């Protein structure tokens, strides 16, 4: 086995066997979409975290990735992806908040095309390196402000926002096709942004917007501007 392949396969606590145990835990936690399960099993989470933290990569907990950001716990990644997919095909997905690229890589397994936006330049570089190492070719990464207008003529079937807001970003909704779905963490008030939020599903129906809340989660706030 070459060094590169070994890095992805992992040894000990980063092995495929450990990843399989993570997948079984996801099933026990209620993840039912087999397409999502397969994606979670296929993506080696340990390459998305610092080497010193690789031994903890398959724990069900967030981990720091630098720049004050974290990689979401596996359950939250799987849950958001399952809610977004809702058992249907996803030709094109928009992700706001690329981070280290882990959620992006999972989305790349369930969608034909992923367009992802990250405001922090150092994380853009990290995500590009991680996705390049895995030879993920159906992803386009942009260093940009995902909290407002993207400045692009873009229409998507699904949107995942991996940072918390107090209201649905109207600028993003304009990119969502009728029949499309957005998943994001919403807080009820500004002071709750650094506390518990709710995973919220926004369905764009022909007759308007429908909103439904699910799991309690905790994400960093959705911030404007570039860093």
Note the pLDDT of residue 193.
Answer: 64
Those residues with Cβ within 8 angstroms of residue 10's Cβ, 6 or more apart along the chain or in another chain: 16, 18, 19, 44, 46, 54
Please state the rounded mean pLDDT for residues 45-59.
93
Judged against a pLDDT cut of 60, whether residue 161 lies above it is answered with yes
Q: Catalytic residue numbers?
A: 72
148 versus 141: the higher-pLDDT residue is: 141
pTM of the model: 0.90
pLDDT-based confidence at residue 142 (cuts at 50, 70, 90): very high
Question: CATH for 62-217?
Answer: 3.40.50.150
Note the pLDDT of residue 6.
Answer: 41
Note the pLDDT of residue 17.
Answer: 86
Please state the rounded mean pLDDT for residues 66-84.
95
Note the pLDDT of residue 188.
Answer: 80
Note the pLDDT of residue 91.
Answer: 97
Please state the rounded mean pLDDT for residues 137-149.
93
pLDDT-based confidence at residue 75 (cuts at 50, 70, 90): very high
Judged against a pLDDT cut of 50, whether residue 5 lies above it is answered with no
137 versus 192: the higher-pLDDT residue is: 137
Mean pLDDT of the chain: 90
Angle between helices 34-42 and 102-110 (to 10 degrees): 130
Note the pLDDT of residue 143.
Answer: 97
Judged against a pLDDT cut of 80, whether residue 117 lies above it is answered with yes
Please state the rounded mean pLDDT for residues 28-33.
97
CA 32-130-64 angle, to 5 degrees, is 75
Please state the rounded mean pLDDT for residues 46-67.
93
Identity of the highest mean pLDDT range in 15-24, 141-150, 157-166: 157-166
Judged against a pLDDT cut of 60, whether residue 50 lies above it is answered with yes
Question: Would you list the domain boundaries of the chain?
Answer: 62-217
């Amino acid at each position: 086995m070459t060094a590169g392949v070994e890095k992805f396969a992992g040894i000990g606590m980063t092995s495929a066997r450990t990843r399989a145990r993570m997948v079984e835990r996801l099933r026990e936690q209620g993840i039912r979409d087999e397409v999502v399960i397969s994606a979670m099993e296929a993506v080696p989470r340990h390459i998305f975290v610092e080497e010193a933290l690789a031994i903890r990569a398959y724990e069900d907990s967030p981990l720091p990735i630098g720049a004050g950001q974290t990689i979401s716990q596996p359950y939250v990644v799987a849950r958001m992806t399952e809610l977004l997919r809702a058992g249907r095909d996803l030709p094109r997905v928009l992700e706001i908040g690329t981070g280290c690229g882990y959620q992006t890589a999972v989305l790349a397994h369930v969608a034909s095309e992923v367009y992802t936006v990250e405001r922090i330049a150092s994380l853009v570089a990290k995500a590009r390196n991680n996705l390049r190492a895995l030879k993920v070719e159906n992803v386009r990464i942009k260093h940009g402000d995902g909290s407002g207008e993207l400045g692009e003529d873009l229409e998507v079937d699904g949107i995942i926002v991996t940072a918390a807001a107090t209201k649905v970003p109207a600028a993003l909704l304009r990119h969502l096709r009728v029949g499309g779905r957005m998943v994001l963490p919403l807080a009820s008030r500004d002071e709750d942004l650094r506390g518990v939020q709710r995973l919220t599903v926004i369905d764009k129906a022909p007759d308007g917007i429908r909103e439904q809340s699910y799991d309690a989660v905790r994400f960093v706030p959705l911030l404007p501007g570039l860093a």
